[in-house]
Amino acid sequence: KAGVTQTPRYLIKTRGQQVTLSCSPISGHRSVSWYQQTPGQGLQFLFEYFSETQRNKGNFPGRFSGRQFSNSRSEMNVSTLELGDSALYLCASTGQGADTQYFGPGTRLTVL
Amino acid sequence: GQSLEQPSEVTAVEGAIVQINCTYQTSGFYGLSWYQQHDGGAPTFLSYNALDGLEETGRFSSFLSRSDSYGYLLLQELQMKDSASYFCAVQSGGYQKVTFGTGTKLQVIP
C-alpha cells in the first residue's frame, strides 16, 4: 500500500499571502489529521476530518482551515500568512477503529 | 485541556537501556501512544497502550498506569540508529483527537 503523500514538500511564501497544502491518505483510510510542528513546540493539532466532516479542531485562529473530499484527500489552507506560520505541516491518516496514525513526509512552509 | 510532560533530552550509551517517561493530564482518556521521529523525517508509530500494563514490541516496550496518568517507553539494546526524538501522545475526547508532548531527544553515544 502506498503511504501518506503530501504536496508540495517545500513552499516559500511572503507575509499576507495564502497557501493550500494537500494530503492524500493511505487507501481506505477515512480519517485525516493535520499538525503544525515547530522547534520546541512539538506537534500541535490543527484539525481532523472524517468522511468530509471536521470532527475535531485545535486551538488555531480562523486563518487555518481545511476540508476533505469524497475520496478522503484533504487540503488545508492558511490565509493572510504570518512569519510565525513558518513550520512543518504534517498530515496523518488513520484506518477506521484503529489507533495508529500514519504520517506523511510533511510540507515545509517558510514565510518571509 | 490536555497537557503532557516528558524530558526534553536524554543521552544513553549504545547497548544500554533507556526509559523515557511521560505524565499527562487529560479528560476522556482513551490511550497513550509513542512515536519516533528522526531529524528531517516524519513521526512513525511505535506503540499504543489503552490498558494498564506493559506492551512489548521487539526492543521497545511501553507501559501505562492510568491511575497515575503516567507512562514510559523503554528502549533496550540501544543502537546508534535509535538516536531520534520520541513523542508520547494522548488520545482523548473520542475520535482522533490526539495531543502530543513536546518530545524527548534521545542521543545514543558509542
- Please, which residues bridge with residue B13 across strands? B109
Under an 8 A CB cutoff, do A45 and B99 touch? Answer: yes
pLDDT at A91 over 70: yes
Spatial separation of the C-alpha atoms in residues B53 and B71, rounded to whole Å: 9
The minimum CA-CA distance between A55 and chain B, rounded to whole Å, is: 8
For A35, other C-beta atoms within 10 Å of its C-beta total 24
Write the residue in A50, A99, A102 that is nearest to B48 by C-beta.
A99
pLDDT tens-place string over residues B8-36? 999 999 999 999 999 999 888 889 999 99
Mean pLDDT score, A88-100 = 86
Q: Give chain B's end-to-end CA distance (angstroms, integer).
A: 41
* Average pLDDT score over chain A: 93
Q: Which of A61-70, A100-109, B22-31 has the lowest mean pLDDT?
A: B22-31
Give the chain A residue whose CA is nearest to the CA of B98.
A45
Mean pLDDT score, A89-110 = 90
Residue A96 confidence (pLDDT): 73
Residue B98 confidence (pLDDT): 85
List, in sequence order, every beta strand (DSSP E) within B2-75. 3-5, 9-13, 18-25, 29-37, 44-49, 53-57, 60-65, 70-75
pLDDT at A40 over 80: no
Spell out which residues of chain A touch residue B33, defining contact as CB-CB under 8 Å: 99-101
What residues of chain B score a pLDDT lower than 70?
Answer: 1, 93-96
Residue B96 confidence (pLDDT): 62
Q: Which of A73-82, A101-110, B96-105 has the lowest mean pLDDT?
A: B96-105
Percent of chain B with pLDDT over 70: 95
| Residue B7 and residue B72 in contact, taking contact as beta carbons nearer than 8 Å | no
Spatial separation of the C-alpha atoms in residues A95 and B23, rounded to whole Å: 27
The CA angle B87-B88-B91, to the nearest 5 degrees, is 130
Give me the sign of the Cα torsion angle A59, A62, A63, A65: positive
Contacts of A5-10 with CB under 8 Å at 24 or more apart are A5/A104, A5/A105, A6/A89, A6/A90, A6/A91, A6/A104, A6/A105, A6/A106, A6/A107, A7/A107, A8/A107, A9/A105, A9/A106, A9/A107, A9/A108, A10/A107, A10/A108, A10/A110
Spatial separation of the C-alpha atoms in residues B33 and B72, rounded to whole Å: 10
Under an 8 A CB cutoff, do A45 and B97 touch? Answer: yes
Residue B40 confidence (pLDDT): 87
